[in-house]
Amino acid sequence: MLRRMSMVVVLGMLAVLPAGAMESRVVDFDYVLGRAKELAKKPYDDEWGTVPKSLRELSYEQYQNIQFDPEKALWRDSGTPFRIEFLHTGYIYTHAVVIHEFTESHEQEIPFNPDLFSYGKTWLKRSVPSSLGYAGFRVLTPLHEPGRFEELAAFQGSSYFRARGRDRGYGLSARGIAINTVASQPEEFPSFREFWLGKPATQAVSLVVYALLDGPGETGAYAFILNPNDSIHVDVRATLFFRKTPLQLGLAPFSSMFAFGENSFQKPQDYRLEVHDSDGLVIADGEDRIWRPLVNPPERSVSEFPFKSPVAFGLLQRDRDFESYQDMFAGYHRRTSAWVEPGSWGAGKVLLYEFASKNEANDNVVAFWEPEKMPVPGEPYSFNYTLHFDDDDASALGRVVATRTGLALYHPELREFVVDFKSKRLTALPAVAQVKAVVSTTPWINIHSQVLVKNPYNDTWRLILQFKLPRSSTHVDIESHLEYEGTPISETWSYGWVD
């Protein structure tokens, strides 16, 4: 995957950077694994990489004044299809990471250099120590036109990383691991504290990144293979060592934002109709699929979907119509979707955690796989998966394209849901076709009325449900899918409603 190069070439590509010490070393997953194993034997140091107070106290606006000079990107003049731009510490990025570059035979650290950045009108450059370190990095590659480099992915902050789908903007973030996210103990946020970037050959189609994870209760070695081909995806391999057993472990976690949407019962006074990075959780178990619309609940909400073996899951932005958002600047209609193709994880469950948020700048949605088998302290815990950063349209089943809710027009004591299903097959079926909606709810809920009709204006099939909530209940779980001639022809709409 990496072509052997001479030391002269390696040093030449770092001409704009202070030269780090070149060492003859083979850097691979086993090398990082050894580092993680040794680190796990030591107590966690929560002061590692802490940046000066002057940087930690920067406002968002001050931090935005710090810009990397793209003319000084790593590998810019080397003829490779990837470039690296480094990210400055400060604001919420309060820890500096160590970044290395490697080839098949050599490795060197990439020292921090303030000359790679412009600092606007701030005083910062005079006060930034030369030994500072970086907050992370972003990866650029030609996504649409040869020679035009665009941002593909970024690694910055704790174990967060994100990538863009083709013709998409950034949205949700992935994480290396989730620890005690919904547990009786405080959540932990392990961090990638060291990275190794493999210099690609001129004809390379992927980029290799290794990372060393460290947290209060765990260390880990990660390999990321970034593939910006027709379907942008990242192959992830990881082995963790636990100093202690966590109360909860989440594999392949996502963080996203849902402020309000077409299913929000009470919307804020906002000219925009919808504001979210993702509008639903998808779970695919073979041919069966579940669609769970996201909500911004009045209090925290946890939904669990148990399975005997791993399933594909992800957070998607299905609504791609600008008219649904009307936000010319945030571009929510272009936010990237992402889903997980799992390895052999064993039994477990997909967990969706949603909590209230009044600020669209804050992520309030988390989704991950919680394995049934927990790790043993001191023993390696390995897993792998592939992250796909694109929409999931492969299934022929009818998709849920809209979920709306409110009070019934002439019966305000009734809650009403309106759900639209769409697919090529559903569109082709005439309005008189015997399509059936199969509905199930929590035991104490009785459906008052249920109507399924074909919408002549957009060829979707619309399910209208009305029910009355008992006064003693504030939570409803409700599911439905469509059948034709005894066979399911849609995914399952699954809704968790909290009053």
How far is it, in rounded angstroms, from Cα 434 to Cα 350?
34
Question: What's the distance, CA 433 to chain centroid?
Answer: 40
Third-level CATH fold of 7-246: Beta-galactosidase; Chain A, domain 5 (2.70.98)
With 90 as the cut, is the pLDDT of residue 445 above it? no
pLDDT (mean) for 92-112 = 95
Spans of all domains in the chain: 7-246, 252-374, 399-498
User: Comparing C-alpha atoms, which of 393, 413, 390, 389 is closest to residue 401?
Assistant: 393
The burial class, CB within 10 Å (0-12 / 13-18 / 19+), for 56 is: middle
- Residue 136 φ/ψ region, left for φ over 0, alpha for ψ in the -120 to 50 degree band, beta for the rest: left
Query: Is 12:22 a contact under the CB 8 Å cutoff?
Result: no
Assigned token pair, 296: 């911004």
* Between 411 and 385, the higher pLDDT residue: 385
How far is it, in rounded angstroms, from Cα 95 to Cα 42?
19
Query: Is 391:318 a contact under the CB 8 Å cutoff?
Result: yes
* pLDDT tens-digit readout, 347-404: 999 999 999 999 999 999 999 999 999 999 999 999 999 999 988 766 789 999 999 9
pLDDT (mean) for 30-53 = 94
- Give me the count of residues in the chain: 499
Report the chain's terminal Cα–Cα distance, integer Å: 53
* pLDDT tens-digit readout, 311-336: 999 999 999 999 999 999 999 999 99
pLDDT of residue 8: 31
Q: Do domains 7-246 and 399-498 have the same CATH topology?
A: no
pLDDT of residue 2: 31
pTM, two decimal places: 0.92
pLDDT of residue 437: 98
**Structure-derived torsion over alpha carbons of residues 206, 209, 210, 212, reported in degrees to the nearest 10:** -150
In whole angstroms, how far apart are CA 9 and each of 25, 199, 283, 378?
16, 11, 47, 41
Q: What is the DSSP string of 459-494?
A: --EEEEEEE---TT--EEEEEEEEEETTEE-BPEEE
pLDDT (mean) for 427-454 = 93
Domain spanning 399-498: which CATH class is it, in words?
mainly beta
User: Comparing C-alpha atoms, which of 326, 96, 57 is closest to residue 193?
Assistant: 96
User: Comparing C-alpha atoms, which of 201, 243, 304 is closest to residue 40?
Assistant: 243
* Between 308 and 442, the higher pLDDT residue: 308
pLDDT (mean) for 427-451 = 92
At residue 322, what are phi and psi to the nearest 5 degrees? -55, -35
Query: Is 323:274 a contact under the CB 8 Å cutoff?
Result: no
